[in-house]
Amino acid sequence: MATKKIVGIALALTALVGACGTGEDNGDRPATTAPASSSTTEPANSDGPDAETLAATPPMGWNSWNQVRCYDLNEDVVKRAADAIVRHGLDDLGYRYVVVDDCWQAPERNSEGALVPDPERFSSGLADLADYIHDKGLRFGLYLSPGSETCAMQWDDYPATGLGSLGHERQDAEMLADIGVDYLKYDWCGADEVDGLEPETAFAHMRDELKRLDRPIVYSISEYGRNEPWKWAPGIANMWRTTSDILPMWASIATIINSQADLHPYAEPGSWNDPDMLQVGNGPLTDVEARSHVGMWAMLAAPLMIGTDLDKVTPGVLAALSNPEVIAIDQDPLGRQARRVRDDAGVQVWVRPLSDGEFAVALLNGGDAPTRVDTDLAEVGIDPGRWKVRDVWAQADGGVVDGALGADLEPHAMALFRLSPM
Ligand code: GLA
């Protein structure tokens, strides 16, 4: 059990020596990182769905893909996930969106050109499923693609034709409103190569169709980070994928964490970098790795979309998903993403400014041997002075720090601190 080691924080109450950082940017957005598209001189997502209320903090919920992928998707799986979210009290923690990913569709559009759900696996229909989810106080999400094909048609041999929204954008958007959809995942799936589409234009097209609807719909887009969407998507979508697909293994999680180090200037309320959905509970991930996965996603102000079977979830995985103080960091209303201040052969230090002048500091041992990680206020760019420290995973006060803080970390473990000014 790693908890004891992680919790064994040594809060060295050392005085700071030398000049302390005055917030060497503390995550401040440099002027040079203003998003590139013309619409983005306005507040984030100002011409997208209502940014005041929609995705003001990173969306949280469950998505079918990492749990059942394609052919095992059906309405019972989705209903059971909704039931389990409520049973485990995850809804009270903010997990709210229940998203049906690819493979919900029947193999062809109907004679009116409308998408229809697979008649066997979704025999009750999507409006019925949306009602079921809404009756639980949850919100309903659905998957579409901008080209002519969905990804499962390409990579899972899903035997279908014409399931993409190309040429059906308005019809498909109106379908979302008719069903009662609250969240759209709009997934690229090679629409440049297959259909000659350009990502910014295609994603903006659906943004405009969603805007016509009398229904706020969180707009989640994905082109896997290939065209630096953080530079143009803030005026278009509420969240944009920054990576290729996450796999249920530490190497994939570590690669994604490393690829997020420079993206902190682009996240803000209403528009978020999306390093892909959670894999905790899947594959060979240990409880230690599950904690680091969720904890680092919280530092990254990432959407938290569970992708495991919540009927079979272990206490360790549930604990990683449901620590209210970790979630509070993810959902901090200031909406600033962490920046990395050290990467020394996988041993990393990250800092995230929080509202009310607080900070979150993460120490991550990405290496394969136990190690001690120490940092200090100067390294993380926090002003000198006395700070109250909270061990976030342990939900325990850690005393007062006026200099250094550190932790003994086993491989792939993280320590997470919240610093409050005194
Ligand atoms: C892509 C996406 C995944 C999932 C599948 C569905 O691979 O990145 O998250 O939506 O498509 O086919």
Average pLDDT estimate for 2-20: 29
Q: Closest Cα to atom 11, ligand 1: which residue?
A: 151
Distance in Å, CA 99 to ligand 1 centroid: 12
Fold of the domain spanning 60-330: TIM Barrel (3.20.20)
Whether 33 shows a pLDDT value over 60: the answer reads no
Q: Does the beta carbon of 102 sit less than 6 angstroms from any atom of ligand 1?
A: yes
- Sequence ranges of the chain with CATH classification 3.20.20.70: 60-330
Task: Compute the distance from residue 156 Cα to the ligand 1 centre, in Å.
Answer: 10
The answer to whether 90 touches 321, Cβ cutoff 8 Å, is yes
CB 184 within 8 A of CB 140: no
pLDDT at 103 over 90: yes
Q: Is the pLDDT at 19 greater than 90, yes or no?
A: no
Average pLDDT estimate for 353-365: 98
Choosing from 187, 332, 376, 408, the catalytic residue is 187
**What are the pLDDT digits (tens) for 154-178?**
999 999 999 999 999 999 999 999 9
To the query of whether residue 72 is one of the catalytic residues in this protein, the response is no
Quote the ligand 1 centre to 102 CA distance (angstroms). 7
Query: Is residue 360 pLDDT above 60, yes or no?
Result: yes
Q: End-to-end alpha-carbon separation of the chain, Å? A: 33
Within a 10 A sphere around the Cβ of 283, how many other Cβ atoms?
14
Q: Of ligand 1's atoms, which has the minimum distance to the CA of residue 150?
A: 12
Q: What percent of the chain has pLDDT over 70?
A: 87
Please name the residue whose Cα sits nearest to atom 8 of ligand 1. 245
Every domain range in the chain assigned CATH 2.60.40.1180: 9-35+337-421
Neighbouring CB atoms inside 10 A of 149's CB total: 20
pLDDT in tens, 225-250: 999 999 999 999 999 999 999 999 99
Q: How far is the CA of 214 from the centre of ligand 1 (A)?
A: 28
Q: Which residue has the tokens 């011409």?
A: 47
- CA dist., res. 220 & res. 234, Å (int): 11
How remote is the CA of residue 369 from the centroid of ligand 1, in Å?
34
Least confident of 24-28, 270-274, 380-384, 414-418: 24-28
Q: Provide CB contacts within 8 A for 135, sequence distance 6+.
A: none
- pLDDT for 399 equals 87
Q: Among 130-134, 365-369, 400-404, where is mean pLDDT lowest?
A: 400-404
Give the model confidence (pLDDT) of 273-317 as tens digits: 999 999 999 999 999 999 999 999 999 999 999 999 999 999 999
pTM: 0.90
Residue to mutate, 70, 73, 101, ligand 1, most ligand atoms under 8 Å from C-beta: 101
Residue 420 has pLDDT above 90, yes or no: yes
Give the class (CATH, top level) of 9-35+337-421: mainly beta
Q: What is the pLDDT of residue 293?
A: 98
pLDDT higher than threshold 90 for residue 36: no
Of 131, 245, 383, 402, the catalytic one is: 245
Question: At residue 185, does pLDDT exceed 90?
Answer: yes
Mutate to test the pocket of ligand 1, among 63, 65, 72, 279 (most ligand atoms within 8 A of CB): 65
Contact 65, 307 (CB under 8 A): yes
pLDDT at 373 over 60: yes
Average pLDDT over residues 104-115: 98
For the chain, what percentages of helix, strand and coil (3-state, to nearest 5) are there? 30, 20, 50
Residue closest by Cα to atom 1 of ligand 1: 151
Active site residue 182: no
State mean pLDDT over 329-347.
97
CB of 154 shorter than 6 A to ligand 1 = no
For residue 376, pLDDT beyond 60 = yes
89 token code pair: 């009290």
Contacting residues for 81 by C-beta, under 8 A, at least 6 apart: 62, 64, 67, 98, 310
